[in-house]
Structure formats: structure tokens, C-alpha cells
Chains A and B, each alone.
Chain A
């Protein structure tokens, strides 16, 4: 078994809240500097930087886990990751059907920019990405798993837009692969307050919106390699695999 330093929650300039400095090129540069092995890209309700991130990751020796941070109907933020770009694009079709009929106001919420590898702006997304989509957390979980994806309710310790703030507790029949504890609380402290969460796989990530925040919280995945199937097994903690949050 090997250990892989993992940060799965990163917002690029595509997210309205993502800093203008968060181009895929800059994100990769910073991740290399931080010694990150596996990096997840998780913009709000959009996957349009996944392909470029995968290309740049490949060139720079970083395993990119392509995904998205979905905001559900209940306004619960959930991370979703997929095995390949085909599945990502297939999930983007689902998002396109469920995105709200609202337009972004960049002045109020921030720009939603798609850039190329040289940081040239190539598109600006008009639909509002910050809003909840027209699908419940159950529907989103099912749509992710239908595509063999990984589904992780995000920053569950946060007093807003988290599964605990919105639903009060984890619905016992919800199908998820792990729960994310935000960089604000260390997992060990969270477990001290909420020991009942010890039965779940917990991960922690930076939720970076600026380059300097990348890697401020990381998990250690203990597994054989960085393949998608190994990552899934690590989240299940099968066969001596594990996810550690030191």
C-alpha cells in the first residue's frame, strides 16, 4: 500500500466564488508546489474545466479526479466525482437539464469564466451556477451512482449549505461514499464533538477559492495506486485500504 496526499475540493475561476487567479494552470502549479498527489476539481454545478484540468494534471504528474460540487434542491452542497471525461460530460447533460432558470449577475456573485491552458478567457457561463438545481439530494446521489461516480456530502460541519444545516441529520437511507469535514474543523475535533460519525468514512479538503488555500487541508488515501477503483475501495476502507485525516 502507498499513501497519496489528496485534496478533492477545489474551485476554479469557473465558480462564481472562485478567485480570478484560479485558472487550471495556476491550480496545477500550486498543487505541484504543495506535493498533492490527487486533486479533485469541483466547481459549483459545472464541469467545464474538467477536461483541461485532466490534461494539465497528466502533464504535471498529478492525478486529477474530475467532478463537481452540486448544490441540490435543498441547498446542500455535495461533491461528485467520475472515472473519465465521458461520464463527466454525461453528468453535465443532467446538470444542464436541472440548472435553474436564472442568470448570473457577475457584479453580485462573481464571474463564471472558462479559460484555456494559457489563461485566455474562452467562455463565460450565463446561467447562475451558485443556485440550487432542480433535483433533490436523493436524485443527485442516484444520478451520480448511475454513472459509477463517487458522492460525498460536502463540509457537513458548516452551519449553512451542508446536509446537517439543511436536513438536521443524515437521512439513514441516503446513499453516499464519504462525508467531508471542512478545513475549519479538524476531523479529530469534529469526531470529539460527534463520535457517532466514526462509523462513516470522513475526508477533509481545502475547499480552495484562492491559490494559497490549496492543500490547507488534505486527506491521506492509503491504497495501491490512484486508479478510480482503488479510490472507491479506499473510501470503503476495504482490504487494508484507508482514508486518514491527520
Chain B
């Protein structure tokens, strides 16, 4: 009886020591890209501390915005390497958490989830980014709050409306805090405006939208018949978005 148990235990220990095993330096990385960065790249280093080679079966990211790459397909005993995860920031804001799932032929731990956390600096926080009036509603002003993000010092902002049908007024409400009042000239017709908001001495532009909407939902309106044409915000070129090209007679307010 004792011999059987001993044999079983020995086989178990032998299996453990002979196996291939990737040891990760870290499975979670936190990145703080600088203002204007387009990508955040995380490096996940590993070493095969086992006695047999490890083969990567798949490496895939949780979203299309992240590309994950392995340097090699096979990792020999004691060999080191890394998985690179490239996160495309795009127009994302705040804290972003993306994962990369690595699948190997290890007997013990075939799947490893690597986590990439990117904290994207935000110069201005705007809330809400959309104000609307129902058609025929009283044309009272509506407010948008603009706050400077942490680590940013903003003394003045400039707000420009792409349409002269909407007026804007900026008021400073505290240090790095502003209130933008938006008011349509009338609400009897469907119209819209893109508001560009810019901190002084900064090339980065933020957007909000003001609209006169149809009231209430019209069945069959899907596909947007009857919806107003609005000033389209421009695509974000390298280095960040720019102001709309030739907005029709913009009106602006600076504080």
C-alpha cells in the first residue's frame, strides 16, 4: 500500500517538474500615454522555466483597437521573450482596460489573460456633449459644463458654433471650470450646430452638438428622413482633430 502511494506521488512530482511552463514577469501593465499620443504599447515579458518547449497556439486581443503580437511561435527551456500589445487610442478617453488572451500547449496553464490598462489624459471634460430642444419648445438657453482635467491648467476656453442659428456664452465658474450657455435663435425649424471647444494655447479641439429635434418619435423615421443636415465634425487627423473646415459663419465666445 505504502509503495503504491509513494509511486503515485513520485509520478505526480515528476510530471510537475518535467512540464513546460511560462513564467510571466507581469500579467498586468498600466500605461499613461502622453497628451497627443496615438498608441500605447504594453510589453509582457516571459520565460520558459520548464524543461520542454512551449508553443503558442493563439494570441488574441479583446478588441479590434488592440493588436497583440508574439515574437516567436516556440519558446525553448530557459528562453525569454515578450508579447507586445499595441492599443490604438483613437478618440477614446479616460481609463481603458483591454485584455490579450494567450493560449499555449502547456499542460498546466494553457490560457493566460494579460491586462493592459491605459489611462488617457483628458484636457477638458464636457458634460453633456449634446443639448437639444424639441421643435416648438421655448428657446431657453441650455448649459454645458466644461472642466479642466486633472494635471491640466486651463484659464480660458473658446467656444465656436458652426451655425449662426445658435449663440454661445462662456462663463468661468471656478478654477478650470466653465459654463457654456447655448441658445437657439428659434426652435420652429430643424437645425443643428457643432460646437467646437478649445482650451487656450492648445491645438486639441473638443466637440459638442446642439440640435432642434423632431418631437416625438415618428414611426418609420428610421433612416433619418426629415432629419436636419448638420455640420459634420472633421475626421481626426494625425495629432488630433482639428476645427471644421470653413464652418458657415461661425459665432464664437471666449472667456
Specify whether A and B are partners. Answer: no
Binding site for A on B (CB under 8 A): none
